[in-house]
Amino acid sequence: QLQLQESGPGLVKPSETLSLTCTVSGGSISRSYYYWGWIRQPPGRGLDWIGSVSFTGSTYYNPSLRSRLTVSVDTSRNQFSLELSSVTAAETAVYYCARHDLHSNCFDYWGQGTLVTVSS
């Protein structure tokens, strides 16, 4: 059974860079038709797709975040990562990693999520 687990700092200062890693277990990250994505959910609000990466390093980014966003992959560790620069308090959210099925255009496996608070 595929499992995903987010890790990283739970507190980030405004204007700094938010960095998270997702470790995939129970299957290889190096599979065709699958990307690996990040989705966030501010407290009490809806879901927002951030960006996705393939095992080759090809990326798709939310247009509203593209200028500040880097999503990368490390196949040797079966991990992928998120870096979002110049964060503000409004980006306080639970950040989820998920497998992004590009054939069906859905997110079929999700991590448990990690709360990142942006505050000084």
**Considering the complex, what minimum distance in angstroms separates the CB of residue 46 from another protein?**
4
Task: For residue 24, give every residue at least 6 positions away whose Cβ sits within 8 Å of its Cβ, in sequence order, or none.
Answer: 2, 3, 4, 36, 78, 79, 80, 99
Does residue 104 belong to the site contacting another protein (CB under 8 A)? yes
CA distances (Å), 53 to each of 1, 31, 42, 85, 113, in order? 21, 12, 22, 18, 18
**Whose Cβ is closer to another protein: residue 7's or residue 62's?**
62
Q: What is the dihedral of CA 76, 48, 91, 51, to 10 degrees?
A: 30
Does residue 48 belong to the site contacting another protein (CB under 8 A)? yes
Cβ–Cβ contacts within 10 Å for residue 101, how many?
Answer: 15
Q: For another protein, which residue of 46, 67, 76, 120 counts as binding (CB under 8 A)?
A: 46
**Whose Cβ is closer to another protein: residue 66's or residue 77's?**
66
Does residue 47 belong to the site contacting another protein (CB under 8 A)? yes
Interface pattern 4-43 for another protein (x via CB under 8 A):
-----------------------------------x----
Spell out the alpha helix ranges (H) of the chain: none
Does residue 106 belong to the site contacting another protein (CB under 8 A)? yes
Does residue 62 belong to the site contacting another protein (CB under 8 A)? yes
